A and B are shown apart, each in its own frame.
Chain A
């Protein structure tokens, strides 16, 4: 316990993490603390020179996450309006990724318990869904249509009410 408080007091310390494919990353402890999992491990004194192994996070998304955490940890408290704006811009640019990376980030942020990033990725996914037709959704997210033709017809019928906005519902008049 004493070691943990020591660690928490020393925010300059670098924390090492290891991706599932064996790549090493370093970030300041304040950044690592944005991840619930890393924070618990640091508190439990599991952060050693060998690095904390993250078994389900590959190097590519981990690099992004380290980026995100470092940026956000540096600007976590006492933000001016301009800094908040800049952070917002950073987020917007940060999440401009292809769907593969987006899934990786969704899963990794969820696994690591990085709440802000998790929310960002979830919101981005929701924004990608917005305004798309079923076919466009399948295309965007690589979804396979697993309905039988009969099922599909039924489901389309079941949901058609949502798509005929311009046509006046004559049978209901």
Chain B
């Protein structure tokens, strides 16, 4: 005994129960349709596709199965209705996916921009720090010169140190400023 010996009626019951118990989906019915002539004929039974329609597209199939199907059943097989709905659904899914990708790409772009900003400010900070270190260094020299002025020195050295101290106009303030900057960095 083989599958071809099974009467149509039993095959039909297998498909019917399979579709009703959601063991079989649209892809299974389509796969059966390709297997052989008889299964193609059996898998095309309108009631199978109607039950798949109400199962897979419950919100949309109610109006079409009651009102539209009575008027347009002869032109439109439930399978083609299913196909249309399925493809529409697929497009919608693809759109939703695309939207998600777009949003993610937007987020990535924003992150890049922020990264560039951060790098820029990091560089600026680095330069500021360098300047601050330079200034600190200078002030350090001025300070040691002004300390040296208080002890005895040969005239030449003393003059040079005096000049150095006079050149520096805001020693204390600058130093404070400096220290703050360093802290900030």
Point out residues on A near B: beta carbons under 8 Å. Answer: 99-100, 103-104, 106-107, 110, 119, 122-123, 125-127, 129-134, 137-138, 141-147, 152, 155-156, 158-159, 161-163, 165, 168-169, 172-173
Q: Which residues of A contact B35 (CB under 8 A)?
A: 134, 137-138, 141, 143, 145
The closest CB in chain A to the CB of B14 belongs to A125
Q: Which residues of B contact A158 (CB under 8 A)?
A: 33
A144 to B23 Cα, complex, angstroms: 24
Count of chain B residues with a beta carbon within 8 Å of a chain A beta carbon = 37
Q: Are A168 and B94 in contact (CB under 8 A)?
A: yes
A104 to B18 Cα, complex, angstroms: 19
Q: Which residues of B contact A123 (CB under 8 A)?
A: 17-18, 21, 23
Residue B5 CB within 8 A of the other chain: yes
Task: Choose, from B36-44, B60-68, B110-118, B151-159, the stretch at the interface.
Answer: B36-44
Q: Are B5 and A137 in contact (CB under 8 A)?
A: no
A137 to B39 Cα, complex, angstroms: 11
Q: Are A161 and B83 in contact (CB under 8 A)?
A: yes
Residue B6 CB within 8 A of the other chain: yes
Q: Which residues of A contact B90 (CB under 8 A)?
A: 165, 168-169, 172
Q: Are A169 and B10 in contact (CB under 8 A)?
A: no
Q: A106-B10, A122-B13, A172-B91 are in contact. Are A162 and B3 (CB under 8 A)?
A: no
A163 to B30 Cα, complex, angstroms: 9
How near does chain B come to A14, taking the closest CB pair, in angstroms?
29
SS of A interface (majority):
helix
Q: A146-B37, A169-B94, A172-B87 are in contact. Are A99 and B3 (CB under 8 A)?
A: yes
How near does chain A come to B80, taking the closest CB pair, in angstroms?
10
Point out residues on B near A: beta carbons under 8 Å. Answer: 1-7, 9-10, 13-15, 17-18, 21, 23-28, 30-37, 39-40, 83, 86-87, 90-91, 94
A146 to B38 Cα, complex, angstroms: 9
Q: Are B36 and A144 in contact (CB under 8 A)?
A: yes
Q: Which residues of B contact A132 (CB under 8 A)?
A: 28, 31
The closest CB in chain B to the CB of A126 belongs to B18
Q: Which residues of A contact B3 (CB under 8 A)?
A: 99, 103, 141-143
Extra contacts, 20 of them, besides A107-B6, A125-B18, A161-B87 (Cβ < 8 A), are A103-B1, A103-B3, A106-B6, A106-B10, A107-B10, A110-B9, A123-B18, A123-B23, A125-B14, A129-B14, A133-B31, A134-B35, A137-B32, A141-B2, A143-B39, A146-B37, A152-B34, A158-B33, A161-B83, A163-B30
Q: Which residues of B contact A119 (CB under 8 A)?
A: 17
A110 to B30 Cα, complex, angstroms: 26
How near does chain B come to A145, taking the closest CB pair, in angstroms?
6
- Pick the contact of B18: A130, A146, A169 (CB < 8 A): A130
A127 to B10 Cα, complex, angstroms: 15
Q: Are A126 and B4 in contact (CB under 8 A)?
A: no
The closest CB in chain B to the CB of A164 belongs to B90
